[in-house]
Structure 1
Amino acid sequence: MTTLPRGRFVVLEGTDGAGTTTQGDLLAAHLRACGLQVVRTAQPSELDGGQLIRRILRGEIRDGDRSIDPAAVALLFAADRVDHGRRVVEPALQRGAWVVCDRHLGSSLAFQVSDGQAAGLAVDPAWVLAINRHALQADLSLWLDVPVAVAIERIAARGKPLERFETEAMLTRVRDRYAALCADPPAVLGRVVRIDASAAQPTVACAIRQSLDDVFGRPESR
Structure 2
Amino acid sequence: MPSLTQLEYIVAVDKHKHFGKAANECHVTQPTLSMQIQKVEEEIGYPLFDRLKKPIIATPKGQRFLSQAKVLLFEHRKLMDLSRQQGGELSGDFRLGVIPTIAPYLLPLFIEAFSKQFPKIHLVIDELKTETIIKNLHEDQLDAAILATPLNESGLKERPIFYEPFSLYVSKSHPLNARKRIKEDDLSGHEMWLLADGHCFRQQIVRYCSLRNKEGVFPM
Bigger radius of gyration: 2
Q: TM-score, normalised by structure 1?
A: 0.29
**TM-score normalised according to structure 2 size:** 0.29
Structure number with higher helix proportion = 1
